[in-house]
Chains A and B, each alone.
Chain A
Amino acid sequence: MTAQLAASAEYLPQAQSAVQSIDWLAVAPPTVTALVALGVLLADLFLPPARKALLGRLSVAGLALALLSLLPLLDGDREAFCLQGKAEVCSYTADRFTLVVQLLVLGGALLTALLSMTAIRDSKNPAGPGAAGAPAATRDPAATRDGAVTGDPATAGERSARGDAAAAAQPLPAGEFWFLLLCSAAGAALLPASRDLATLVVALEVASLPAFALVGLRRGEARSAEAALKFFLSSVTATAVTLLGVSFVYAATGSLFLTEIAEEVTHVDGQLQTLVETGVVLTLVGFAFKTAAAPFHFWVPDTYVGAPLPVAAYLSVVGKAVGFSGLILVTVLAFPSYGKDIWGPALAVLAALTMTVGNVAALRQGADRAFSAVRLLAWSSIGQAGYLLVPLAAAAYTDDGPRTIGSTLAYALMYAVVNLGAFAVAALLARTKPLARIADFRALYAARPVTALVFAFFLLCLAGLPPGIIGLFAKVTVFATAVDAGLGWLAVVMAANVVIALVYYLRWTALLFRSAEGAEGIEGAEGAEGVAGAGTGAAGAGAAAAGSGGGAGTGVAVGGSAGGVAVLPAPVPLKVAVGLTAVVGVVLSGAPQMVLRFADMGLFGG
């Protein structure tokens, strides 16, 4: 990572004295992540296969350390890699904006890592999740080790329904997985701090390139490979376009630093005007692609379905955060003077289009289709990206643009917590129902009351209805920016979209509380699941009780009702992920100010 930073500093006009003093504390969050990534890669070489689980713990610890390294930065803005002679022009700035996005990105990566620990373990042991659903009698340890699925007709049937895919899939390679995840997280953590276009593009690529590999990591699975290819090709095209745009802007303004561009761009020669405008538009395209804004969204559903579930969760939160922070930096810091004419209207149209396309497509997802749960989350994440774009568009029309985009950050923080929470629950369920259909969530309340309540809470947060108070107020801030900027039509489009989104979120929520259909046939599986759920339940209830009294995460009758079969607790990392997101969501619902304050302060320092 530091190598890249150095590389990005190479173009600096004057030759620098060989060693520039670096504020290591300021650059710690991405650096720590990158170093841990290298450490994991090295450790992978020396660890015996049986001990590979250690890599996961190492990665989680590394990400936690990177999060902790944010703490010393709270006292004020710091800068690194500044121009000699012009100390105020820097490539790396750790201001409040940077810290918030880094918190989001590293926190998201940490939760993804928790989800991944289970996913990797299960992929090594394909019968593992199947056995969780099987009646106790058939859970023969030998059979489990051989990977043979016996005795659970439902699971076997589902597996054959998936075609050769799952059966032929090889386990996720732990070493590569953790290395790639951490690399991508390091890039994502670097991006919000970048204050020049070269670093920005490099960071964007560092965040994206490992993601392609992560998507295609399920070796031997056709769907995964296809998704990776689709993702790769379209992403590379977008990056190429961005680079073209950056070169245009550089040609016209003679600088790559965002603040300098902002100055230069106001007095560009008349002949170069078209060049700059084209450059601005092209630069934005690449970032719009990463956020999955409407015309550039087609890769999302297939990629999410093809990718391992934790990777899909990662892309939906961290991948989006990367795109958004890039968009914010470019629009608000580099091209503020083009706001009203070029990117303001463009982003407003993009926002309206994105949310409508995403929500309407999500509405049309059939509950019985294979992977419909992930598909719906994918489409709904496109819809949410539309809401996230609204304050950005509004920033073009207000006097204090940098303040307006705070709403995007507040919304993104809320979205990150609840969306990762929803993915965590989906991952929990996908262990016993690998098809991940929405229909598989039916009667979840009967089987795992606390998980169901928590999941309902997440969905209602995403929909923005009480008891998801934080979701409601996050939407209110977004609405407020649109109304404040005079974008009445966008606010109305968003209002209609909120109603459309409610239909599919609530339909899913209602399904959780329905009674199981054909209870006879799947009783065995349900029973075992019920017991497994009780474990999660206990953890969740305890966590919720510790966190806050009110809200939907309230502890609920646990255990007791689950009938008979051997206790098979849900894996600890998953429990922690679900519990953590639920507690954060409930606490935020009680005290929305914790995230909403970002909507009401100047985020860019210096």
Chain B
Amino acid sequence: MQFLLALIVAGPLLGAAAALLPAPPGLKGKSPQQAVLRHGVLVTGVILLAAIVLALGFDHDHPSRIQASTDLSWIPALDVRLHLGVDGISLPLIVLTALLTFLCALHSYFKRPEGPAPQAFVALILVLESGTLATFAVLDLLLFFLAFEMVLIPMYFLIARWGGKDRGPAAWKFILYTLLGSVVMLLGLLLVGLDSGTFDMVALASDNGRSLSASVQVTAALAIGIGLAVKTPMWPLHTWLPDAHTAAPTVGSVLLAGVLLKMGTYGFVRVLLPIVPDGARTFAPYLAAFAVVGVLYGSLACLALVREGAGGDLKRLIAYSSVGHMGFVLLGIASMTPTGVNGALFANIAHGLITGLLFFLVGALKDRTGSTDLDALAKETGAALYGRAPRFGGLLAFGAVASLGLPGLAGFWGEMLAMFGAFDPAAGLHRGAFLTFTALAAFGTLLTAAYLLLVVRRVCMGAVPEKAPEFADVQGYEFAAWTPLVLLTVLAGLWPAVLLGLTDPAVHKLLAGGAS
């Protein structure tokens, strides 16, 4: 098991190094480009397989226990240990990351990314995968920071080199915002580590902030919280996200929304809540308030974008909807109750699946029509995808209703549980304030439904024009890349216990300070 986890974290790095080398004889394929893209599929496939085996071998009866753990000394001077392990909180995220990266590699294999040589593209994707997987697998604060930073450079280059319009400024905005956030986070992590004498997340979590003074906790929670909030992103620190999403290539958008944003919320659950609980409690009402503003702001921005004549960009719209969805996740976390945190983790996964699917679909739409501008797509009556490409239109509608939280699909449970949690927040949090937040968030779900249905109305419906240009329906490879996401969305919606059974005991343990 340990080796499996180590392979999952280090494998992509080795794969990235290998991607830059010339293909060995016998594996040259049709062209170097094709060979390296195949290499990407192979490596991510192996990692996905390893992640699935890890999930199968995971002791589901004790999901709150850290399993498959490795603990080696790396830098004694800084007390940094190579401490890896998974529990019920990180396991779903690891599988999700491995899955999404594999699907992205598969997608790129058939649909070559437009831009410079694919060798670098594959290498960057693999480094990105390694960084995100490491974020979810490490149990040392400084390693967590290292993993957090590791994704910055690959994502920067993915946007800046393979992106669309305005990619340069968008890439800069992305990296500067997140770096500023993570450096501030580092200060908070150092404060915690130096004050308590260890950087080990397991030890710190079971200590549950008892060895940290109140002022240290508050300062650390603020610093760490800001860093994570930028990544999540929380309103008003979200402004990098729409630009980055709009400019990023399809694969970049999928990974950004599906995986990178989760690093922020995961950090809240793994670092902030258990390690500096008093600090977290101090800021929880503010976090909840910002989260709710994010929900409303995201939905209103989407409503503004979807209007006729607004010239809204579909990718940008989904990016803003991410701000709203992550608002629900943050609201659940801010409630500091098991219910809310479970909901947050569930919404995390659901958002990764659904938004990943939506970005794939919009990317495919852009490949076919050359534009993601809603007005250009919809013309007078609507883009009429139902008529021109029924399967494609159906999938898009599926993604939209899943995203708005239709019961029976994955989007429902997370947001509902998050609001349940906020309805009855943890002791010490002001009930009235949280009730207001819950009510506002509930209003946000209505707005979410409104704009997503409007999107469906404008993109999928409408009269098929006489001389509509050829619009290819879903291709074979697209089916292959999208079906797993659809199936998992349905599965998580119909059988939420699969996920909640994993996360619930672990969340209880974290919130109770290590006592399960």
Interface residues of A (CB under 8 A from B): 410, 460, 465-467, 469, 472-473, 476-477, 479-480, 483-484, 488, 491-492, 495-496, 498-499, 502-503, 506, 510, 513, 515, 549-550, 554-557, 560, 592-593, 596-600
Contacts and interface: CB of A to CB of B under 8 A. Distances in A.
Interface stretch (B176-184, B247-255, B365-373, B433-441): B176-184
Interface stretch (B73-81, B306-314, B383-391, B400-408): B73-81
Contact of A467 (B20, B76, B153): B153
Chain A CB count within 10 A is highest, among B77, B146, B152, B187, for B77
A495 B180 contact: yes
Contacts of B131: 466
A492 B75 contact: no
A498 B14 contact: no
A465 B149 contact: yes
Contact of B21 (A502, A513, A515, A555): A555
Interface stretch (B155-163, B342-350, B458-466): B155-163
A460 B186 contact: no
Nearest to A497: B183
Contact of B157 (A476, A495, A513, A550): A513
Contacts of B186: 476, 479, 495
B75 A473 contact: yes
Contacts of B80: 473
B190 interface: yes
Given A492-B187, A498-B183, A484 B77 contact: no
A506 B78 CA distance: 27
B157 to A, nearest CB: 7
Contacts of A600: 76-78
Nearest 3 A-B pairs (CB), nearest first? A600-B77, A596-B77, A495-B183
Contacts of A502: 175-176, 179
Nearest to B130: A466
A480 B13 contact: no
Contact of B78 (A460, A473, A549, A550): A473
B146 A469 contact: yes
Contacts of B183: 495, 498-499
Category for how many chain B residues contact A: 35 or more
Interface in B294-346: none
B428 interface: no
A473 B161 CA distance: 28
Contacts of A460: 153
Given A492-B187, A499-B180, A596-B75, A557 B22 contact: yes
Chain A CB count within 10 A is highest, among B14, B17, B156, for B17
B429 interface: no
Contact of B146 (A410, A472, A477, A556): A472
B190 A560 contact: no
B179 A499 contact: yes
A483 B190 contact: yes
A491 B187 contact: yes
Interface string B76-96: 111010000000000000000
Given A557-B20, A557-B21, A592 B184 contact: no
Contact of B153 (A465, A492, A597): A465
A593 B75 contact: yes
B98 to A, nearest CB: 20
Given A480-B78, A510-B157, 7 more contacts: A469-B146, A480-B190, A502-B176, A510-B156, A554-B17, A599-B77, A600-B76
B410 to A, nearest CB: 32
Chain A CB count within 10 A is highest, among B13, B180, B187, for B187
B218 to A, nearest CB: 13
A194 B75 CA distance: 31
B21 to A, nearest CB: 6
Contacts of A592: 74-75, 78
B11 to A, nearest CB: 12
A476 B190 contact: yes
Given A549-B17, A550-B14, A483 B191 contact: yes
B120 interface: yes
29 contacts: A460-B153, A466-B146, A466-B153, A467-B153, A473-B75, A473-B78, A476-B78, A476-B145, A476-B186, A479-B187, A479-B190, A483-B191, A484-B190, A491-B187, A499-B180, A499-B183, A502-B179, A510-B157, A513-B157, A550-B13, A550-B14, A556-B21, A560-B22, A592-B74, A592-B78, A593-B75, A596-B77, A598-B77, A600-B77
A65 B131 CA distance: 43
Interface string B54-86: 000000000000000000001111101000000
A556 B20 contact: yes
B76 A593 contact: yes
B150 interface: yes
B176 A503 contact: yes
Contacts of B157: 510, 513
Contacts of B22: 557, 560
A594 to B, nearest CB: 9
Chain B CB count within 10 A is highest, among A460, A480, A554, for A480
Chain B CB count within 10 A is highest, among A469, A506, A599, for A506
A318 to B, nearest CB: 25
A48 B275 CA distance: 72
A415 B187 CA distance: 22
A507 B32 CA distance: 29
Nearest to A449: B20
B194 A597 contact: no
Given A479-B187, A498-B179, A596 B160 contact: no
B120 A513 contact: yes
Nearest to A601: B77
B318 to A, nearest CB: 27
Contacts of A492: 184, 187
Contact of A515 (B116, B172, B175): B116
Interface in B159-212: 160-161, 172, 175-176, 179-180, 183-184, 186-187, 190-191, 194
A483 B77 contact: no
Nearest to A445: B120
Nearest to B194: A484
Nearest to B13: A550
B152 A480 contact: no
Interface string B135-146: 000000010011
A169 B74 CA distance: 51
